[in-house]
Amino acid sequence: MTPFNVDAAIGYTWEALGLVWLVGVAFTKRTVRSQSTGTRLFHLVLAALGFALLSQRGFTQGWLGMRFVPNTYAIAFTGFVLTLAGCAFAIWARLTLGRNWSGRATVKADHQLVTAGPYAVARHPIYTGLIVAVAGTALATGEWHGILAVVVILLALMIKMSQEERLMIQAFPETYAAYRQRVKALIPGVF
């Protein structure tokens, strides 16, 4: 019997998330307003750098390749479980958002404020899921380039989140303000 391949399973998990995103693009509403091109480009560059740090073996030289946790199967498997849980949560949030979703901060035609499902526990549950998944992959890798990836991706998501917050406040001034009072941005009850 072959042991469970954690690295392959993590890769398949990220591929499943990517497939959901790719298919979902075809079903989104028309964009009415969006973030500036400059902000979008900065966010994308940071996100690309973060995911490159997370996934590319070229970043394993020097201190980036040093381990921050022991190289054990239990730690790697725990990282896989976090990756799977984070991706599943992000997919749930993406499906709940439906046709209002976009890869950039936007307001869609006939945009509806979604506050049910995962949006009842976090205003940006896709980002919550992504952060958990990235942290899980970093843990499974166990090297410092993974920790740096978490920081860079978190920064990229915070930039995009601030743009989304601005657009939602403009589109739903009273409703979104009340929603912000009730529901934290990323971590239920904390932040």
11-41: pLDDT as tens digits: 999 999 999 999 999 999 999 999 999 999 9
In terms of DSSP bridges, do strands 106-108 and 31-34 run parallel, antiparallel, or are they unpaired? Answer: antiparallel
Amino acid identity at 73: Y
Q: Residue 1: its pLDDT value, please? A: 44
Record the pTM: 0.94
The fold of 36-182 is: Four Helix Bundle (Hemerythrin (Met), subunit A) (1.20.120)
Percentage of residues of the chain with pLDDT beyond 90 = 90
Beta bridge partners, 34, equal: 106
Q: How much of the chain exceeds pLDDT 70, in percent?
A: 98
- Is the Cα torsion angle 15, 19, 22, 28 positive or negative in sign? negative
Per-residue pLDDT tens over the stretch 113-145? 999 999 999 999 999 999 999 999 999 999 999
Cβ atoms within 10 A of the Cβ of 169, count? Answer: 14
The number of residues in the chain equals 191
Domain borders along the chain are 36-182
